[in-house]
A and B are shown apart, each in its own frame.
Chain A
Amino acid sequence: MEHLLSAGDLSRTDAVRILDTAAELAATQGREIKKLPTLRGRTVVNLFFEDSTRTRISFETAAKRLSADVINFAAKGSSVSKGESLKDTALTLQAMGADAVVIRHHASGAPHLLASSGWLQAAVVNAGDGTHQHPTQALLDAYTLRRHLVGPQPLGQDLAGLRVAIVGDVLHSRVARSNVDLLHTLGARVTLVAPPTLLPVGVETWPCEVSYHLDEVLAQGLDAVMMLRVQRERMSSAGGGFFPSPLEYSRRYGLDARRLAALPSHAVVLHPGPMNRGLEISATAADSSRSVIVEQVANGVAVRMAVLYLLLAGGRREDVS
């Protein structure tokens, strides 16, 4: 593994290796001393062209727990807002000796460009690009699912046979795309649930099922339901008019107490955050014992530590004979 650009690039073996590494690293995070010396002397740059405090601090924590030096480069107020191109930013980071670049960009494909352009030699980790991919989110979701639903010895296991519904704004969601790719690779059966206006063209070619009716999907018996964030501004005609009103959306696609009760007793509820309580998920569902939403945050750090470890700890190929 040289870069992590898309969940779709990961083979089953790669994905299970990342999850197993994350599991061992998570075990070290319960200790009083959480810092490991493994990436001492390595530099990780968080290059964020979009604001995302949660993802950035998760990557920052992960890198620091492995003793890497972290440089946060936010586009706002930097040379980028003065019109610097991605190429010149990349050349600057190369000159500073970055070993890994974690990039969040509003344009789909920006991480791929950075990795394949030859502008810099660092390992590139996609932390979300446009409506394309957010692979570490999918990995932390898969890790959370495996921890709760595959047992008693999850190490080395995939998610074969698990039934997962992903509900909400699939059209604009890189989380949904990444999860469909990764969960399918790991053997889970994924159903996307959304109003027709919030499904992308070509969704029928994705390795998953698609439904417009949440209650019908719930009745089939799920192991997990993943709620996606819906942005209120998308309902106005200026925002695209994707759905008529928040109330109608939440009646048809929101996870409320009644729908929560319809889940089997072992099923878990996930949400990538930040949540709109009362829109896609009710407070009852968000705070219930089935909800693993807070745990997802902790698992995010472990999974990102695993990705940084696997990308940076070994020798570069030219050094290893």
Chain B
Amino acid sequence: MSDPDTPAGAREVLGADDISRALTRIAHEILEHNKGADGLVVLGIPTRGLPLAQRLAERLAAVEPGFDPATQLGTLDITMHRDDLHRAPVRPIGATHVPDDGIDDRTVVLVDDVLYSGRTIRAALDALSDVGRPRAVRLAVLVDRGHRELPIRADHVGKNLPTASSERVQVMLTETDGRDAVLISGGEA
């Protein structure tokens, strides 16, 4: 169980295999709910939503050959719509890439790593309305750790992780952090 790469005081709650299985299940759920890949657009939210959206798109294409990552996968930067810009030093702006055909009347699946306060998703919904008017917006997250501050919920969840707000949930992905894992640390120290 204990991984030599896990920092002291941190506990691994999902390993690489767990993450992989969760993404495969989410891909199937999305296709089942959408009744195929028609009209689907998957948008990752930087930073770690991008590799997750990429992996999800690969699985969608594997299950449903009609899904084309070139026209149905993109990224949505939310920096300019955040409600906490004034509380932190200025943040760099990320890239937004929306498929050329746009998102009007499509079903958009937003992908992020951790759902916590819900404020990131609030900002994402605002950013999305600047880009177009989707038929429906759905939310897929790897981890839902609770403690919502806004009336927002996820449609597809990799793992529900009850946490204390003093705890820290860290998602690590091969593309950004060198390995796949979800760690939890802090709490009743």
- Interface residues of A, Cβ cutoff 8 Å to B: 17, 20-21, 24-25, 27-28, 31, 33, 35-38, 309-310, 313-315, 319-320
For A27, give its contact among B92, B96, B126 (CB under 8 Å).
B96
Chain A facing B: main interface SS: loop
Chain B residue contacts of A28, Cβ below 8 A: 80, 96, 130
Contact A315 B77, CB 8 Å, known A28-B96, A31-B131: no
The answer for the CA separation of A17 and B92 in the assembled complex, in Å, is 8
The answer on a CB contact under 8 Å between A309 and B130 is: no
Is B91 engaged at the interface, CB distance under 8 Å to the other chain? yes
Task: Kindly name the residue among B81, B90, B94 whose own CB sees the greatest number of chain A CB atoms within 10 A.
Answer: B90
The answer for the CA separation of A321 and B90 in the assembled complex, in Å, is 13
Chain B facing A: main interface SS: loop
The answer on a CB contact under 8 Å between B93 and A309 is: yes
Closest A residue by C-beta to B129: A33
The answer for the CA separation of A285 and B140 in the assembled complex, in Å, is 54
Chain B residue contacts of A25, Cβ below 8 A: 93
Is B151 engaged at the interface, CB distance under 8 Å to the other chain? no
Contact A314 B93, CB 8 Å, known A24-B77, A37-B126, A38-B80: no
The answer on a CB contact under 8 Å between A315 and B89 is: yes
The answer on a CB contact under 8 Å between B92 and A20 is: yes
Closest B residue by C-beta to A42: B86
Closest B residue by C-beta to A25: B93
The answer on a CB contact under 8 Å between A21 and B131 is: no
Task: Kindly name the residue among B81, B86, B94, B131 whose own CB sees the greatest number of chain A CB atoms within 10 A.
Answer: B86
The answer for the CA separation of A180 and B50 in the assembled complex, in Å, is 39
The answer on a CB contact under 8 Å between B131 and A320 is: no
Tell me the smallest distance from the CB of B108 to a CB of chain A, in Å. Answer: 16
For A320, give its contact among B81, B88, B93, B130 (CB under 8 Å).
B88
Chain A residue contacts of B86, Cβ below 8 A: 313-315, 319
The answer for the CA separation of A36 and B79 in the assembled complex, in Å, is 10
Per CB-CB distance, the 4 closest pairs between chain A and chain B, nearest first, are: A314-B90, A24-B93, A36-B80, A38-B80
Chain B residue contacts of A315, Cβ below 8 A: 85-89
The answer on a CB contact under 8 Å between A24 and B94 is: yes
Closest A residue by C-beta to B98: A31
